[in-house]
Amino acid sequence: MKKKRNYMARYLLLVLPLLFINLNAQEEVDALETARLAKSAAEKAQAEADAATEAAIESAATKAASQARSDAKQAKEDAKAKEIADAQAAEDAELDALAKAAGDEAKRKIAQELGLDNGSSEEEASAEEVEIADEADEVEELAVKEELGWSVGAAPSIGLLSGASFTSIPTGATFVITTPWGFALGPLDFTISAAFGGYVGQYDSEKDTDYVLPDGGTHWVDDFNPTIVGIGGNLTLASFVFAEGHAGIVGKGPGIRGFAGVSLEYLMKKGLNLPVNILVGGEGFISTNVSGSGNTSGWGGLGVRLDYDF
């Protein structure tokens, strides 16, 4: 029995240290594993935090880029809309100025025709012309020309027919000075003018010495250069159709001159912006004493006149 106890004592002395060592080693292994797990969890958390931070940064950058693009597009649209609005405003202002000038001019002309113009309208017209000059030089130029109203024209005439007193149709030219004075006759505008000119021709005169003509007659053929001087005016319809007449001296006695046709004023002044006008039509002369021998005769032909306004 005593031997058995000694044996148990020895066994315990041998086993207990080994058990203690084993328990101690197990504790050290558990602590190391715990540390490893903690480190792994920390690394995973750090990776997730880094990923979340990068995602947040990327999202913020994308949002900022989208906002910047939207702002740039809106700014471009605003600038384009402002440019269109400014152009429209400038065009409206110019049209309003021209419309106002046309209205004031029409009002001034109506006042003049009714005899209500006391001079103030001319001052308003002058002020309006200065205002228009800042916006349209062409309008000012036309207004000044309309204000002066003088013109000088030369009309060469190509003779086409004549009375029996002439053996050759006179040819020459007439000069016309048009004044700014006149008045309205319903739709027609009447303007006072003066005409003077010279022509070269021949006429027959009976004399004692015979000159045998092809028809068997006996006449002298004398050179004759008739001149014309007259006062009258012209009627114009819509700046296109015109009729002009002057009474005065034609040849050696009283007579009249007539000229009628079409005016190219709209084309020359409005279309080509030139200070001249061309009139084309028929021109005729009648005298009660064309050569000084009491013979009534006349001639006519095609006339083309060039007028210069100033």
- pLDDT at residue 260 above 80? yes
Give the end of a domain, one of 148, 163, 194.
148
Mean pLDDT of 269-290: 89
d(CA 67, CA 48): 28
d(CA 57, CA 227): 105
> Residues 129, 198: one domain?
no
C-alpha triplet 119, 121, 126: angle, nearest 5°: 100
Which range, of 148-152, 275-279, 283-287, averages the lowest pLDDT?
148-152
Range of the domain at 277: 149-309
The terminus-to-terminus CA distance of the chain in angstroms comes to: 163
- pLDDT at residue 299 above 80? yes
- pLDDT at residue 229 above 90? yes
- pLDDT at residue 119 above 80? no
> Residues 7, 123: one domain?
yes
- pLDDT at residue 193 above 80? yes
Backbone angles phi, psi at 85, to 5 degrees: -65, -40
Per-residue pLDDT band at 201 (split at 50, 70, 90)? confident
Per-residue pLDDT band at 292 (split at 50, 70, 90)? confident
d(CA 141, CA 131): 13
Q: Give the pLDDT confidence of 40-77 residue by residue, as tens digits.
A: 877 887 888 788 888 888 888 888 888 888 888 888 88
**Considering the entire predicted model, what is its pTM?**
0.47
Would you state the pLDDT for residue 233? Answer: 92
Which range, of 42-51, 76-85, 94-103, 124-133, averages the lowest pLDDT?
124-133
Give the end of a domain, one of 95, 115, 148.
148
d(CA 153, CA 60): 84
Would you state the pLDDT for residue 15? Answer: 63
Give the end of a domain, one of 148, 174, 202.
148
Q: Domain of 253: which CATH number?
A: 2.40.160
Q: Give the pLDDT confidence of 160-173 residue by residue, as tens digits.
A: 888 877 778 888 99
> Residues 140, 154: one domain?
no
Q: Residue 310: which of 192, 141, 66, 104 has the closest Cα?
A: 141
Would you state the pLDDT for residue 210? Answer: 47
CA 83 to mean position of chain CA atoms: 21
Domains: count for the chain? 2
- Please give the share of the chain, as a percent, with pLDDT higher than 70: 72
> Residues 258, 197: one domain?
yes
Higher pLDDT, 179 or 146: 179
d(CA 102, CA 99): 5
Please give the mean pLDDT across all residues of the chain.
78
> Residues 187, 118: one domain?
no
- pLDDT at residue 285 above 90? yes
> Residues 153, 140: one domain?
no
Contact 190, 234 (CB under 8 A): yes
Higher pLDDT, 286 or 221: 286
> Residues 156, 129: one domain?
no
> Residues 115, 161: one domain?
no
Per-residue pLDDT band at 209 (split at 50, 70, 90)? very low
Residue with tokens 């003509």: 213
The Cα-based distances of 71 to 57, 84, 85, 184, 290 in angstroms read 21, 20, 21, 65, 92
Per DSSP, helices labelled H in the chain are 2-113, 120-135, 137-148, 265
Mean pLDDT of 224-252: 90
d(CA 53, CA 305): 94
> Residues 119, 173: one domain?
no
Would you state the pLDDT for residue 179? Answer: 92
β-bridge mates for residue 228, sequence order: 197, 250
- pLDDT at residue 208 above 50? no
> Residues 207, 105: one domain?
no
Contact 125, 108 (CB under 8 A): yes
> Residues 159, 33: one domain?
no
Contact 219, 213 (CB under 8 A): yes
> Residues 10, 125: one domain?
yes
Would you state the pLDDT for residue 116? Answer: 66
Would you state the pLDDT for residue 275? Answer: 86
